[in-house]
Amino acid sequence: MADDPFALFATWFAEAQASEPNDPDAMALATSTPDGRPSVRMVLMRLHDPKGFGFFTNLQSRKGEEIAANAHAALCIHWKSLRKQVRAEGVLEPVTAAEADDYFASRSRNSRIGAWASDQSRPLDDRQTFLDRIDEAKARFGEGEVPRPPHWSGFRLVPDRIEYWEDGEFRLHHRRLFTRQPDGSWSEGLLYP
């Protein structure tokens, strides 16, 4: 048994980066409306540290609005090639402006332009409308820097539960559950498969 779930995650993630053929940082993120209607989508985990698991998005998107209304969320990272998954539940907290700026600056220029052009999750009358908005954003910024839009930032899921699941023959899986204690430490136990 380990007492640091984030150290275990770092080990598993390094293994996934070396062997998972596509997007080892892909995770299913589940949010919900204030009245409990869930929605789930794949996002890319762009940071992980002892505070939690982070991703970036348009704050005016459906997920952004759901997070603003109800910050409780869950995520699942499944590495099919490793036959392992990590599930976490907790509260989403905004990343710092510096973290958002740093990640935004690391994105390709076209992705940064797209963040300005897209009204993510809103109805789109015609694909050409979006392409025109991309052209307008390219003209606006020219060859200069493309700053982070005010409506674009990120969140970090600060978990209170993290489950590590490993596939077992005959569905005799190995499940380890870390639960955050009131003092911030972690307790660990096993779950039946």
pLDDT reported for residue 3:
76
pLDDT reported for residue 4:
92
pLDDT reported for residue 1:
52
Enumerate the H helices of 3-77 as residue ranges: 5-19, 62-69
| pLDDT tens digits along 168-192 | 888 889 999 999 999 999 999 999 9
| pLDDT tens digits along 21-67 | 899 999 999 999 988 999 999 999 999 999 999 999 999 999 999 99
Is 122's pLDDT higher than 70?
A: yes
Sign of the torsion angle spanned by Cα atoms 188, 73, 182, 50: positive
Is 119's pLDDT higher than 80?
A: yes
Give the H/E segment covering residue 39.
strand 38-44
Rounded Cα distance between 59 and 62, Å, is: 8
Residue 149 — pLDDT band, cuts 50, 70, 90? Answer: very high
pLDDT reported for residue 93:
98
62: alpha, beta or left? (left if phi > 0; alpha if psi -120 to 50): alpha
Sign of the torsion angle spanned by Cα atoms 174, 155, 44, 125: positive
Rounded Cα distance between 35 and 114, Å, is: 32
Burial class (CB in 10 A: 0-12, 13-18, 19+), 27: buried
| Domains of the chain and any CATH numbers | 5-110+149-191 (2.30.110.10)
SS3 assignment, position 47: strand
- What average pLDDT does range 106-111 have in this prediction? 96
pLDDT reported for residue 170:
85
- What average pLDDT does range 133-147 have in this prediction? 95
The pTM score is 0.92
pLDDT reported for residue 169:
87
pLDDT reported for residue 2:
60
**Which one of the listed residues 107, 171, 176, 180 is annotated catalytic?**
171
For residue 51, what are its two tokens? 């505070």
- What average pLDDT does range 141-154 have in this prediction? 96
Strand runs labelled E in 45-167: 47-49, 52-58, 72-79, 84-94, 152-166
SS3 assignment, position 13: helix
Rounded Cα distance between 76 and 40, Å, is: 10
Q: Are 139 and 37 in contact (CB under 8 A)?
A: no
- What average pLDDT does range 98-108 have in this prediction? 97
| pLDDT tens digits along 70-81 | 999 999 999 999
127 is annotated as an active-site residue: no
